[in-house]
Amino acid sequence: MQVIVAGGGIGGLAAALALHGSGHEVTVFEAAPTILPLGVGINLLPHAAEVLGELGLFDALSAQSVATRELIYFNRFGQRIWGEPRGRFAGHATPQLSLHRGALQGVLFDAAVERLGTGRVLCDRRLAGHEQGGGRVEALFLDRAGAAWKVSADLLICADGIHSAARAGLYPDEGPPIYGGRILWRGTSLAAPFLTGASMIIAGHQDQKFVVYPISPPGPDGRQRINWAADLAIARSLRREDWNRRGDPADFLPRFEDWRFGWLDVPGLVRSAEAIYEFPLVDRDPLPRWSHGRMTLLGDAAHPMYPNGSNGASQAILDAQALVRALAAHADPVEALAAYEAERLPATAAIVAANRRNGPEQCLQIAYERAPNGFDRIEDVFAPGELEAIAARYRVLTGLKHASEPPVR
Among 4, 39, 58, 225, binds ligand FAD (CB under 6 A): 39
β-pair partners for 138 = 131, 152
The residues pairing with 157 across neighbouring beta strands, listed in sequence order, are 5, 296
Residues 332-371, one symbol each (x = binds ligand FAD by CB under 6 A, - = not), give: ----------------------------------------
Q: In this chain, which stretch among 49-57, 77-85, 144-152, 153-161 interacts with ligand FAD, using CB under 6 A?
A: 153-161
The closest of 225, 227, 182 to 204, measured between CA atoms, is 182
Tell me how far, at minimum, the Cβ of 272 lies from ligand FAD, in Å: 18
Window 40 to 69, contacts with ligand FAD (CB under 6 A)? 40, 42
Q: Could you tell me whether strands 126-133 and 136-142 are parallel, antiparallel, or unpaired per DSSP bridges?
A: antiparallel
**CB closer to ligand FAD, 200 vs 301:** 301
- Dist CA 207 CA 278 (whole Å): 16
CB of 251 to ligand FAD, least distance (A): 18
Size of the site for ligand FAD (CB under 6 A): 32
Query: At its nearest, how many Å lie between ligand FAD and the CB of residue 134?
Result: 24
Nearest distance from residue 381's CB to ligand FAD, in Å?
30
159 binds ligand FAD (CB under 6 A): yes
38 binds ligand FAD (CB under 6 A): yes
Taking the C-alpha atoms of residue 80 and residue 378, their distance in angstroms, rounded to an integer, is 8
Binding residues among 220-279 for ligand FAD as defined by CB under 6 A:
243-244
Near ligand FAD by CB under 6 A: residue from 300, 308, 333, 352: 300
Q: In 3D, which of 142, 114, 123 has the Cα closest to residue 56? A: 114
| Residue, CB closest to ligand FAD | 9
Strand partners of residue 171: none
CB–CB of 187/270 below 8 Å? Answer: yes
- From first CA to last CA, the distance across the chain in angstroms is 45
Name the residue nearer to ligand FAD (CB basis): 151 or 165. 165
Contact between 309 and ligand FAD per CB under 6 A = no
> What span, in angstroms and rounded, lies between the C-alpha atoms of 400 and 201?
19
CB of 229 to ligand FAD, least distance (A): 9
Does residue 283 touch ligand FAD according to CB under 6 A?
no
159-184 CB burial, b ≥16 within 10 A, e <16: bbbbbbbbbeebeeeeeebebbebbb
Shortest approach of ligand FAD to residue 77 CB, angstroms? Answer: 27
Among 46, 214, 280, 299, binds ligand FAD (CB under 6 A): 299
| Position 161 contacts ligand FAD (CB under 6 A) | yes
* Comparison of 161 and 204: residue with beta carbon closer to ligand FAD: 161
Antiparallel, parallel or unpaired: β 65-67 and 97-100? antiparallel
Choose, by CB under 6 A, the member of 48, 71, 97, 127 that binds ligand FAD. Answer: 127
Task: Give me the residues that bind ligand FAD (CB under 6 A), please.
Answer: 6-12, 29-32, 38-40, 42, 101, 126-127, 159-161, 165, 186, 243-244, 299-301, 307, 312-313, 316
